[in-house]
Amino acid sequence: MQADLEVLRNLNIARRTADKTHYVRLADIEQPFRAEFRAWMRLGQCPVVEGEDRFGCMYEHDFEGYRQERLRGVYRKWQGKTPWELLHYEAPATDDQI
């Protein structure tokens, strides 16, 4: 799966709560990376952030782990499978599907 990795490399979406929880909002991650990250994070823990969607945030360190694997093309988390090869991967909607 080819995507513009410069977009992923240059994403600056880290946020921090008053109690210093570092997180990212899934809505801030462009597709197809959002769908990939969701698959990569399957069964991962989500921070509870006041004022945010209950399942719409992930820890920043988890996103950085995904980003580094994706940029290097080395996938360790799922036994070497890329996010889009995982059975639970859900491809983002295309204009044809809307």
Sequence spans of domains, the chain:
5-85
**pLDDT of 98 above 50:** no
Using alpha carbons only, what angle is made at residue 2 by residues 38 and 80, rounded to the nearest 5 degrees? 55
pLDDT in tens, 63-76: 999 999 999 998 88
Other CB atoms within 10 A of residue 30 CB: 14
| DSSP H stretches of helix in the chain | 5-10, 33-40, 60-72
Assign residue 24 a region: left if phi > 0, alpha if psi is -120 to 50, beta otherwise? beta
Query: pTM for this one?
Result: 0.86
